[in-house]
Amino acid sequence: MAGVLAFLALGQAQAQKTTEEASAAQQIPDAPRPQVGLPAVDKVAPGMGTTPTSNGDHAPADQQQGPPSSLPSTAAQQLQPAGQETPPELPAPGEGADAFKLVVRTNFVEVPFTVKDNKQRLVPGITWREVRIYENNIPQRISLFTVDPFPLSVAIVIDQSLTPDNMAKVNNSLAALQGAFAPYDEVAVFTYNNGPQKRTDFTAANSARLEFALNNSKSTGREVYMNLGGPLAQTTVINGRNFDPNTAPIRNSQAMELKVPKEVHTLNDAILEAAKSLTTRGRGRKRVIYVISDGKEYGSQAKTKQVIQYLQTNKIAVYGTLVGDSSLPMVGFLDKIHLPYTMRDNVLPVYVNETGGNLDAEFRQRGIEQSFQNIFEEVRTQYTIGYYSHQPFIDGKYRSIDVRVLRPNLTVIAKKGYIPTASDSGPVNTITPNR
């Protein structure tokens, strides 16, 4: 009996061992099957790797198709002509440029402009559907349209080389200048005679510091050089000979010879210094140079063309009040005729036309005071449009701009063009994620 029980136990153990070996044999994976239909090594054509293979493998989902042959829909919309059907972004009243939060604006261009009628009055109520803008004669799609005022960064440039009578009019009118600004504006003051001088850096428009700087900018002016000729100019000449050489302009000369020194009016240098200070101001502010001068230019180290290029690169507009004889209509007409190697009687219109500013010519003190209010009212009520340029943004080449309004008998005042810079392609707003 014991032998039978041992035999049964041995049989159960062998059956359990056989079951465990069969289970282990099933866990071993099969050997890879040979792949049939693969192309030969020397017959693989470019692009075959993106197609499904014969063993059922597929390429990634983003590589199922080749790159598109046309621009995406969003980019195609940016290339639509100015006669667009979809409206641009219209911010709510009071938001202005703060309504547009962009991380990077690599090719965004802002263009402020003013619209006047044939009587030089401001025209309100212009809508984006009535505006067309061209860059290098190519219509652009308007992406921004707003009439909200922007805070101003203004550099005032006061001419101290005026004649005493005109300088007195400017001195008496400076008290009304501070009232033309808003509380959120910032102002710097420069003066020039034989060279520019900064009276104060940027400060609040309603501060006592600005009032002190304006009072400190008053001057007596400069006397006009007189070239006297005839017998009155030779008071020490007897019988045609100068008996006292010490009184002659040229020592040891027997003839009386008067050489009048040339007048120096360094307007270009003064505008350039004001422009350099404006480049330090932050984004979201309009940069304005406001000049009170007769417009004469002679003796500056900077050339007019160079200064205009600097203004166009840094988006600075030049406005001004023209005083003195240059404000008279007939003299202003004669200023257009410039002889080589002579002083320009009025160079301010060149700056104004190229930068999109405006000029107010006033001869009397009351008109000068009123021009302050008129100029800054015009700056504050400008329209502002924006578009994405089609050109590579950082190429340093000048681009012309033409703004048109589809209404008859209106004048559009805007800058003639701009020069893109590398600073325009940097981040505008930094977005901090919530933690």
Q: What is the pLDDT of residue 29?
A: 56
The per-residue pLDDT for 13 is: 61
Q: Which of 104-113, 269-278, 377-386, 421-430 has the lowest mean pLDDT?
A: 421-430
Mean pLDDT of all residues in 130-144: 93
Domain boundaries 152-222+262-380, corresponding CATH code? 3.40.50.410
**Cα-Cα-Cα-Cα dihedral sign, residues 116, 117, 121, 127:** negative
pTM of full prediction above 0.75: no
Residue ranges per structural domain of the chain: 80-149+383-435, 152-222+262-380
Q: Is the pLDDT of residue 26 over 70?
A: no
* Share above pLDDT 70 across residues of the chain, in percent, rounded to a whole number: 59
Share in percent of the chain as helix, strand, coil (round to 5): 30, 20, 45
The one-letter code for the residue type at 61 is A
Burial 187-199 (b: 16+ CB within 10 A, else e): bbbbbbbeebeeb
- 144 with 88: CB under 8 angstroms? yes
Contacts of residue 189, Cβ cutoff 8 Å, sequence gap at least 6? 155, 156, 158, 198, 199, 200, 210, 213, 214, 217
In this model, does residue 319 exceed pLDDT 60? yes
On the question of pLDDT at 6 being above 70, the answer is no
Average pLDDT over residues 196-219: 93
User: Which amino acid, one-letter code, is at 170?
Assistant: V
pLDDT band at 340 (very low <50, low <70, confident <90, very high): low
How far apart CA 408 and CA 117 sit, in angstroms, is: 9
Q: Which helix (DSSP H) or strand (DSSP E) does residue 310 occupy?
A: helix 304-313
Confidence check: pLDDT of 27 > 50? yes
Q: What is the pLDDT of residues 413-432, one digit of tens each?
A: 999 999 887 666 555 554 44
pLDDT tens figures, 272-292: 999 999 999 887 899 999 999
